[in-house]
A and B are shown apart, each in its own frame.
Chain A
Amino acid sequence: MSIDKDKIKHTAKLARISLDENKIDSLSKDLSNIFKFIEKLNKANTENVRPLSSILDQSLRLREDKVNDGNIRDQILENAPNKNEDFFIVPKVIE
């Protein structure tokens, strides 16, 4: 399938990446080639095959519902590019 410019723009919007207008053509070409390669999969017969999402046979482990850490606000905020004492700061979202 060819991935045209509109599809690229829409996907970039979903992925929250702004794209330079002058890069969209080459991206469209690259992605179209990659999808042509990927679509080889259509030849594989997958009738009645269960999808595999994890190779581990084990089910996820449960733990006791107990607090095991906390009070690490400063650590969590340590690497924030914009913050005050208690909060991450983001551009205004409410007009």
Chain B
Amino acid sequence: MTDLTKNNLLENVSLIKKKEIKSEELTLAYVQNIKKGKKLNSFITECCESAITNAKNFDQKQNYEGLLAGIPLAVKDLFCTSGVKTTAASKMLANFVPNYESTVTKNLWSQGAFLLGKLNCDEYAMGSSNETSFFGNVINPIKENTVPGGSSGGSASALAADLTPATIGTDTGGSIRQPASFTGTVGLKPTYGLCSRWGIVAFASSLDQAGPMTKTVSDCALMLEAMVGYDLKDSTSINKKKENYSKNLSKNIKGLKIGIPKEYRVDGMPKEIEDLWEKGQKILKEEGAEIIDISLPHTEYALPTYYIVAPAEASSNLARYDGVKYGHRSSKGANLIEMYEHTRSEAFGDEVKRRILIGTYVLSSGYYDAYYLKAQKVRRLIKNDFDTAFNNVDAILTPSTPSATFKIGEKKNDPISMYLNDIFTVPTNLAGIPAMSVPAGYDKDKLPLGLQLIGKPLGEQTLLNIAYAIESKSNLKQNISKWWEK
């Protein structure tokens, strides 16, 4: 019998719609993989029983209309799911059960999908290696003892290991694209405002975006189509007509102009990353696109700007965790203030505390102008760089990350070297523009590497099309031995 979990999402949707398989059969196949995949630690909460019930209900009702009819999906544990524990991988929310559903997951369920489980991530999405989770490290199925990237590490790991047919993550500075690159999968961060942020545990509200993580570019188009939509509950939601990303997916990229920003050629970049970038340009040229050298002069300021703006917004967002309304509460403290202090000290991990302190400091009286205001001004310069570039090009090609995955523990004690992981992904969050990572090759140890495509605001279709061309041409066949099942 064929292993259904080896199929991509589109294939399984099609099999269900043609009534060649039942949703229950498919769901059971994933449940089996989840049970055998515990070593990866990619799940915080498994919803196997409810998923099987939902699958049976689907098979009975036989409503094949939705884009994701009969598909079980595990999602990052940052999306609030009604009646199902939502932890943000923090001790603070370890027992939090929301009584409402995030708009993005609601959209997925309205297309016929149902919940398979909640996936591990960095605590409050703060991290680049999934080593800050209260529920422990996630392992990259590509190789034992390596990180899956972060913060959507559980999502990337579960997807690459066939524990879910597709998934969703959130991306504040690269949290979808970097893990996608580390696991040989596809990840897309949409234009800010395209996916509703309502019901997603907030990290940095002017940067956060939800997006799909999938095995293939066509799957990515389908998932994006299912997720997006105008939402009155999110004041930054964009009101626009829905696009048919999967129907309009095309490998024809003839005549498109692709920018290559010289500032992304950073010091000490490994040769294999440079080679990969060259290879990407070669593919695009062969497909009839025009390669144009461009400059994004303020790129070097993107990470420092990000490490002011994101912690500042985080310190403000995370002020709500006070031990009163929901979440952990300390039994220590003689008065209200001390109760707050102990609650937050006991339930936030080190990285979260570090970022709250950075954010509080840059917003505090006497430092606001020097740090926060300065960063907001530089943020405009970074956005202007992209605006100018897009006068001449349709999209930009860069590497997704400065290296392949690394060993667990390797960068844990050096925050700056960890932050440098996001050097290529952070600028697009600051500018609010879409970007995606598509698998394009391997390093010398056969570890996957991704290329990043950056697009104009609402240019998701162009990105998907270019990624589709790269995917077809590079024709990678990733064979992961299921070492974790032994």
Enumerate chain A interface residues (CB-CB to B < 8 A). 3, 7-8, 11-12, 14-19, 27, 30-31, 33-34, 37-42, 44, 46, 49-56, 58, 60-61, 63, 75-76, 78-82, 88, 90-93
> Nearest residue in A to B431 (C-beta to C-beta)?
A55
* Known A41-B301, A44-B298: A51·B377 in contact at CB below 8 Å: yes
Residue-wise, chain B 319-358 has the 8 Å CB interface mask toward A (1 for contact) of 1001111111100011111111110110010000110111
Q: Compute how far the CA of A76 lies from the CA of B342 in the bound complex, rounded to whole angstroms.
A: 23
Q: Is the beta-carbon distance between A93 and B335 smaller than 8 angstroms?
A: yes
* Known A55-B192, A93-B335: A34·B307 in contact at CB below 8 Å: yes
Q: For the A-B complex with A41-B304, A44-B378, A56-B236 known, give 8 more contacts whose Cβ atoms are closer than 8 Å.
A: A16-B341, A18-B345, A30-B354, A31-B354, A34-B415, A40-B301, A49-B378, A51-B380
Query: B379 in the interface, Cβ–Cβ < 8 Å?
Result: yes
Q: Is the beta-carbon distance between B348 and A41 smaller than 8 angstroms?
A: no
Q: Compute how far the CA of A35 lies from the CA of B379 in the bound complex, rounded to whole angstroms.
A: 17
Query: B97 in the interface, Cβ–Cβ < 8 Å?
Result: yes
* Known A11-B357, A38-B304, A40-B304: A79·B326 in contact at CB below 8 Å: yes
> Nearest residue in A to B375 (C-beta to C-beta)?
A41
Q: Is the beta-carbon distance between A52 and B383 smaller than 8 angstroms?
A: yes
Q: Is the beta-carbon distance between B235 and A8 smaller than 8 angstroms?
A: no
Enumerate chain B interface residues (CB-CB to A < 8 A). 96-99, 192-193, 206, 232, 235-236, 238, 298, 300-301, 303-305, 307-308, 315, 319, 322-329, 333-342, 344-345, 348, 353-354, 356-358, 360-361, 364, 371, 373-381, 383, 415-416, 419, 431-432
Q: Is the beta-carbon distance between B373 and A51 smaller than 8 angstroms?
A: yes
Shortest beta-carbon distance, A53 to chain B, in Å? 6
Q: Compute how far the CA of A88 lies from the CA of B374 in the bound complex, rounded to whole angstroms.
A: 40
Chain A residues, Cβ within 8 Å of B300:
40
Q: Compute how far the CA of A79 lies from the CA of B232 in the bound complex, rounded to whole angstroms.
A: 25
> Nearest residue in A to B346 (C-beta to C-beta)?
A18
Q: Compute how far the CA of A11 lies from the CA of B359 in the bound complex, rounded to whole angstroms.
A: 9
Q: Is the beta-carbon distance between A31 and B357 smaller than 8 angstroms?
A: yes
Shortest beta-carbon distance, A14 to chain B, in Å? 5
Q: Is the beta-carbon distance between B315 and A15 smaller than 8 angstroms?
A: yes
Q: Tally A-B pairs: CB < 8 A.
A: 152
Shortest beta-carbon distance, A33 to chain B, in Å? 6
Tell me whether chain B's interface is mostly helix, strand or loop, or mixed.
helix
Chain A residues, Cβ within 8 Å of B328:
81
Shortest beta-carbon distance, B298 to chain A, in Å? 7
* Known A11-B361, A14-B360, A17-B353: A79·B378 in contact at CB below 8 Å: no
Q: 27 A-B contacts, Cβ less than 8 Å apart?
A: A12-B357, A17-B341, A17-B356, A18-B341, A19-B345, A27-B354, A30-B354, A31-B358, A31-B361, A33-B415, A34-B354, A37-B303, A42-B374, A44-B298, A44-B377, A46-B377, A46-B378, A49-B380, A51-B376, A51-B379, A51-B380, A52-B380, A56-B192, A61-B232, A81-B324, A90-B339, A91-B336
> Nearest residue in A to B323 (C-beta to C-beta)?
A81
Q: Compute how far the CA of A11 lies from the CA of B192 in the bound complex, rounded to whole angstroms.
A: 31
Q: Compute how far the CA of A91 lies from the CA of B339 in the bound complex, rounded to whole angstroms.
A: 8
> Nearest residue in A to B357 (C-beta to C-beta)?
A11
Q: Compute how far the CA of A63 lies from the CA of B376 in the bound complex, rounded to whole angstroms.
A: 29
Q: Is the beta-carbon distance between B381 and A46 smaller than 8 angstroms?
A: yes
Shortest beta-carbon distance, B337 to chain A, in Å? 7
Shortest beta-carbon distance, B373 to chain A, in Å? 6
Chain B residues, Cβ within 8 Å of A92:
335-336
* Known A52-B383, A55-B206, A88-B324: A17·B348 in contact at CB below 8 Å: yes
Chain B residues, Cβ within 8 Å of A56:
192-193, 236, 238, 432
Shortest beta-carbon distance, B366 to chain A, in Å? 11
* Known A17-B357, A40-B301: A50·B380 in contact at CB below 8 Å: yes
Q: Compute how far the CA of A37 lies from the CA of B437 in the bound complex, rounded to whole angstroms.
A: 27
Q: Compute how far the CA of A80 lies from the CA of B328 in the bound complex, rounded to whole angstroms.
A: 9
Chain B residues, Cβ within 8 Å of A51:
373, 376-377, 379-380
Contact of B235 among A19, A34, A60 (CB under 8 A): A60
Q: Compute how far the CA of A63 lies from the CA of B329 in the bound complex, rounded to whole angstroms.
A: 36
Chain A residues, Cβ within 8 Å of B298:
44
Chain A residues, Cβ within 8 Å of B371:
38
Contact of A80 among B325, B335, B379 (CB under 8 A): B325
Chain A residues, Cβ within 8 Å of B98:
79
Shortest beta-carbon distance, A90 to chain B, in Å? 6
Shortest beta-carbon distance, B355 to chain A, in Å? 10
Q: Compute how far the CA of A56 lies from the CA of B206 in the bound complex, rounded to whole angstroms.
A: 9
Chain A residues, Cβ within 8 Å of B383:
52, 55
Q: Is the beta-carbon distance between A50 and B377 smaller than 8 angstroms?
A: yes
Q: Is the beta-carbon distance between A81 and B315 smaller than 8 angstroms?
A: no
Q: Compute how far the CA of A90 lies from the CA of B339 in the bound complex, rounded to whole angstroms.
A: 9
